[in-house]
Structure formats: structure tokens, C-alpha cells
Structure 1
Amino acid sequence: MTDITTRHALLEPVDLRDFHLPNRVVMAPITRARAANDLLVPTELHAAYYGQRASAGLIVTEGTWISERSIGFVDVPGIYRAEQVTAWRRVTDVVHALGGRIVQQLWHGGPETPAGMSAADIKATIADFAAAAENARRAGFDGVEVHAVGQFLLPQFLNAKVNRRTDGYGSARGKLLYEVVDAVAEPWDGRRVGVRLSPYWSTTENFAPDEETLTAYDEYVTTLNDHPVAYLHLRGRETGSPDFASIDRYRRQFDGPLIANLGFDRESANAVVAAGIADAVSFATHYIANPDLVARFALDRELASGDPATYYRGGAGGYVDYPESR
């Protein structure tokens, strides 16, 4: 591959199953805590924020609560009430009017644990995911992404150190994930469901990425090939710089498109795509301060830095007031 092709690999179009992207720069889900109202409804600030970033090949929204019982943090929007659906429709209309594509990340961040959930609880959770996916379709999203990263409900079920159930959800720890994927795929024509995984999550001992954990994720990723998944969105290993090997391990297990995430800059993102290890790369921190990130990459312009003090603080400051480059 020529140097010029490697330098601009991110700018090439790509198909992620039924998502047709004009470039390979993906906006990663970024919690910004701007739904500062009792109903957890997106506001005009959300429409402006996502509209400013519509040049991304694909926008993945911040994780959104699928039900009241799934709520884990304040000021994060949901997709389980009629008012939320209406407000999100405003967001998707703006993004589409500006030529963008946007999927909604569905999140269960509530207090439940595998040990504490009854069979009825699990059935209700799957139903909540299904209802949220239908609401996302009604709100005009192009698809959905299943949030299965970190230490929240779905990753807990995938974790042998945390999930010690003795029923089918313990003997086959990926069972809940697969059932959720199948449930949220129902409202969509074709393949419009992404799955985000984090096998290398390492914030606590129970989630240390030892070989047992990584081998278990080999099985989970391979089994996802048998389900209606549009793409795998993989959070790599935290090493201070992008670890291509951590992405490539699961690229070899998954037959479909793969989005790589964590620590990439323009050079490393172009390289991982040019090498065929990833089909696209997602960016979180860079998208906070650079709404025109695709243009900055295309024109080799310097990236702006965000203000961490405003990442999770309500209001327009540090949210919709970052300028485009000139």
C-alpha cells in the first residue's frame, strides 16, 4: 500500500454491513451529562452538539438508558419515554439534514448484578432493550449499538469472576448478550446493530484482562458471527498508545466489520485501517473539542484540546462552543 493511501485511509468510504459510510472516522459514545431535567430528555443543545459533528462517517450517541431501572448516573438521557423519543427525533433530523448517520447506544447501567437477578428480571431486561430499540427506530436513528463495556450489567454477565450463576446464564455467560442482540435487531431491516465490547477493561481485579478473560471473549466474538451484528466496536488495551495486537486478536475471530477504539490519533488510525486490522476507528476525546474532526484529519490541521472541567457539567460551555478550524 502506498504512503499516500496509508496517510488517508480514514477518508475512504466503507460499508459496515447495512451502514454505508463516506469515511471511516467514527464518533465514539461520549457521556456528557447534558440532560439536566427530570425526564432525562435531550434538549436543543443535543441537537446542536450532534449536528456539529455530522461529518463523521458514523455517530454513536452517548449511552442512553433503556428503562428507569437501568439508570446509573444523573443527567444522562433515556430512550424509554415518549418525550425522549420526540426529543431524539429532533437530534436525528438535524444530523440527517446535514448528511450524517447516527446510531443510538443502548445502555443498562443500573444496580443489578448477575447473582441478584431472577429469571423474570432477565426477561424484563431483554424486553427493555427490545422496547428501547423500537423507540430508537421511531426516533429516526439509523440503527443501535449495544453497550457491553466496562463494569456494567452486560459485561458482568460475560465475566467469570463476577457471574457465578448456576443456570444457563452462568454456564453460557454470553447468553444474555446474544439474546439482547437478537431482541434489539428485531425492529430493523437488515443488519443495523453494533456491539461494543471491552475485553481489556482493567479498572478492578475482577475485570483484569488475564488470559482466561481474553479466551472467553474469543468465544463471545466468534459466536456473535451467528447473530445479526452489523459491526464489532472494540475497545483496545490501555497501553498509553494504540495496541494493534489487542485489536487484531479479535479481528481474527470476527467475520464482519470492526471499529477500533482507544488512544488513536490521525497517524495510528490511518495505519490500523491501512493494515486491514480495523475497518474504521472511533474517537471520543478528539471529538469533544473538534466538531470538524474529519476536515482536520483531511487537511492535516492541528487538533484542539478540550476542557476536562466541562466534560460532565451541564450547559453550552465546553459542549457546543468549540469552533471549527480556519
Structure 2
Amino acid sequence: MTRPHIVVVGSTMIDMITYAERVPDAGETLIGERFVQGFGGKGANQAVLAARLGAAVTMATCVGIDALGDATVENLRREGIDVDHVTRTDQASSGVAPIWVERDGTNRIICVPGANHEMTQQQARTAVLATPQVDGVVGQLEVPQAVTSAGFRAAKERGAFTVLNPAPAGALDPGLVEVTDWLVPNEAELVELARSLGVSADGTPEHLAVAIARTTGTRVVVTLGSRGAAVCEDGEASVHIAAPTVEAVDTTGAGDAFVGAFAYGLAEGRSATEASRLGCACASASVTRHGTQTSYPTPEEVASLIQQLA
């Protein structure tokens, strides 16, 4: 069987993670418990998870001409991801993401996109059109929206589905919404999305998902953390997907794990409900370990997860 092929038009970051009992208040200095540097960026995270599930993945991104960029490209290669459409720039440094993680696993993140904002529309379009097989194209908001729109428009020319993770939260360009099949926000992003669209942010996430699906003409999956996810395919009702019960130690990258697995599931031919179950399983597994990509299930572990869902 031919492996499903996913193109990720998105970001790469170097995660700089500090673990502490709590985050400091304004003007306060605390002693942290430990520090870890690793690979991240919403685009790269989603690409890595999809690749570990068995997808062929092409990454379209931009990194700096610096040591962090070198390390990022090598990490993608190690994960089996096609890096032919990773470009380098001397106009900005590679992206970084300082992250603070508290004892209960809660995280706070500041993204500094750097070279990610040097991506061009032509780069995204070429990555999608030059890839021999494209089943789905995935994007986020850590690169310019016009770049993601160009990649998604090329996806439509190829007959591929598109998945947009509207994160970090912000207003969406109408042109990007127009070429988006699936919106996959978390609860906070869902509320921000509703406000930006002029939709009342009152009500449950399930109700908001329906309202946003109707307003945008897209299908919506909202991730609900330990409560799983809600899937709205028809603008009429949403289906709740429960997540496995686990003890969370670090939620960093869990949403990206869901998106990567969800996109893989769709590309493999699963229903949105089944793809969401796979997403919940992978995200739940990731929060039981520290780090971002380092917390993701290995290829052997994802094989076991898929078997459990069969």
C-alpha cells in the first residue's frame, strides 16, 4: 500500500524549556528546577508525529543560516522527513520558543518566529505542486498567513484536503479560511476565533464549534485537553471524543501531536471521528513525558496505539 503523503507548510523552532514549581510574578526571579533544549515549532511537531505514524512527510519551512538552523534540518532528516523544500535565510535567525512548565504540567510559551517569517508564497506553492503525491496539507499561524494560503490553494489544485491549526490565536484572513477544509483550534483559540469572526463566545466548546463551522463553511475539531475533542462535520452538531485517562507531567506539544495524528488519519482514509480518536491517543501519550518532540510516541509505540484503536 502507498503511504499517505502530507505536506506541512509551517514553522520550526528550537524549544528552550524551563521547568519550575511555578512561573515568576512580574519583577520576580525564581530558581528553576531544570532546563532542556529541544526541537519544536508547530509545523515541525505536527510533521514529526505524522511521520512516526507512517506518513511520508514533506516540510516547507525557512530557517536561519546558523547552528540552530543546521540542527533543525538534521533533526527533520533523522525523522525521515523530506527537507528538499526547507530554505535558508541570512535575513533572520532561526525561530526559538522559550517555554515555562509548571509542576502540574501547565505551560506558557513565547514564540520568536525569526526565519519562519521569511517564508514566501512561492516556496509553499512549489512544495505542494512538486511533491509527486499529496493527500493533505497542514498549516498553522507561525508563518505568514499568505504563505499558508498559497500552499492550501495549491493543495486544492492537487485534490488534497487542508487542515489549519489556528495557533497562536489570531484573526484569520478570509482568503485562508476560503481554502481551509478543517479548523483545529484548542479551547482558547476557539474563543479568540469566535470573537474575531463576530460570533458570540458564550456557550460550550461544542456549541462554539458548530457556530464557527456555520460561519466559516469549514469543518471544526476543537481539542479539549484531558477531556478529548469535539468534532463538527456538518455545521449542525458536534461529536465528543473522550481522551484516555493519563497522568500529565508536561502538556507542551500535545495539541500538535493531535493535529499531526488527525491529519495522518484523514490521509489514511479514516473518518474524522476515528482520526480524532487517534489524535487523542497520541496527544495523551505525549503528556506523560517531558519535552515536545521527545515526548511523542516512537514508531513502535504508535503501532501499539493504532492496534488498540482497531
Which range, TM-score by smaller chain?
0.3 to 0.5
Q: Which structure shows the bigger proportion of residues in strand conformation?
A: 2
